[in-house]
Amino acid sequence: MKCFYCDFAAFSGQGGSMDRYVSAILAEADLHPGRAVDTLYMGGGTPTELSAAQLTRLLDGLAARFGPLGGLRESTVEASPETADAARLDALAAAGVSRLSLGLQTASDRLLKSIGRQHTFADFRAVYAAARVRGFALSVDLMQGLPGQSKEDAAADLEAVLDLAPDHLSIYTLQVEDRTLFGKREIEVDTDLARETMETALERLAAEGFVHYEVSNFARPGFESLHNTGYWVDRPGLGLGCGAAGFLDGARTQNEDKLTPYVTRVERGEKPVKSAERLEGREKLGETMLLGLRMLEGLVPTPAMRAAFVPQLERLCSRGLIADEGGRVKLTRESLFVANEVFREFVPPWERTP
């Protein structure tokens, strides 16, 4: 069952296609011979929907093509409390996976049910404990702004997770996308409440020693996500699988997001790219600015970036939404709550009124 807020590619009634899909992913990997890989991230869906045997075949197949997973700087798999049983966790550990990202969203059983999750917080705690025993570094996702969620609910969620001593936390405000069930229900997010809950989270996590290193991400020192940081500093990435996004040789690509076209094209020996875009000039400079500003340390813009966005930078500085300190540009605390206002200054159309 798809969560009510989820906008990722997902399919129902396709269990019989799992083996064929695993074969297709490995066949797609063969279309990129010689690519060097130093981090792995399996997610943007639910990899633990695969059986333990299928996970082993997929991960061992990737290791045979790109090198042992244990030799990577980081290897992360997203795991659902609904499917991450002992056999699957054993398979992930045996394959050399170093890190799990666990999608909790909320510790309230009432709210879990209201967003379409099929597990309870007790189920999550059991999976978390089993994963910790197996030596994985653990990241937990929380979501704020859920329908019916109060400030007290969000604070209780955070305390429940901190009691588990995770290595990493991602905290997102609900985004309602048109094609989701929440979109069809015309759910609206209480932005004032979401800001209040995030302010509380910022203070609480700082007190617990977490580093706030990206707009939505917090880590104990040394546990920042290396793979995801690569996105924000514009590192190349190879995307494999249905709907996967990649960034190779200066082009951003997205694979076929329907299962049958994806598998069919790979089986014909074709790269299953559905769309590709190569940004140049001001658009590329703007993308680099946007991505770099997601990191709390900000970035040092090149002279070309500064020249391309003089009015935007001046406007954002005057509004107190960015700081320019010794040549490094970064978000201010105020802009953390309206970060999208900052980011959209660097994507077309650029000439906007304040």
Q: Which long-range contacts (CB under 8 A, 24 or more apart) does 54-60 make?
A: 54/18, 54/19, 54/22, 55/88, 55/91, 55/92, 55/95, 56/91, 56/94, 56/95, 57/22, 58/22, 58/25, 58/26, 59/91, 59/92, 59/95, 59/96, 59/97, 60/95
Nearest Cα residue to 76 out of 46, 41, 102: 41
Contact 164, 126 (CB under 8 A): no
Nearest Cα residue to 174 out of 336, 5, 1: 5
Residue 354: the pLDDT is: 43
Low-confidence ranges of the chain (pLDDT < 50): 2-6, 8, 13, 176, 353-354
Residue written as token pair 């969560």: 3
Distance CA 102, CA 118 (A): 14
Distances in whole angstroms, Cα of residue 288 to Cα of each of 144, 305, 354: 28, 9, 22
Q: Which CATH class is domain 36-232?
A: alpha beta
Where are the CATH 3.20.20.70 domain residues in the chain?
36-232
Contact 279, 287 (CB under 8 A): yes
Distance CA 313, CA 319 (A): 10
User: Strand runs (DSSP E) across the chain, as ranges?
Assistant: 39-42, 74-79, 99-105, 137-144, 168-173, 211-214, 217-219, 245-248, 251-255, 273-277, 322-325, 328-331
Where are the CATH 1.10.10 domain residues in the chain?
281-346
The residue type found at 79 is A
Distance CA 69, CA 264 (A): 28
Contact 9, 45 (CB under 8 A): yes
**pLDDT tens digits, 111-161:** 998 777 778 999 999 999 999 999 999 999 998 888 888 999 999 999 999
The residue type found at 194 is A
Distances in whole angstroms, Cα of residue 194 to Cα of each of 44, 103, 112, 319, 335: 24, 19, 18, 21, 14
Residue 5: the pLDDT is: 44
Distance CA 308, CA 174 (A): 32
- Fold classification of 281-346 (topology level): Arc Repressor Mutant, subunit A (1.10.10)
Contact 204, 158 (CB under 8 A): yes
The residue type found at 21 is Y
Give 217-238 as a DSSP string: EEESTT---HHHHHHHTT--B-
* pTM for the model: 0.90
Look at strands 251-255 and 273-277 and give their pairing: antiparallel
Which residues lie closer than 8 Å to 254 by C-beta, 6 or more apart? 239, 243, 244, 245, 246, 273, 274, 275, 276
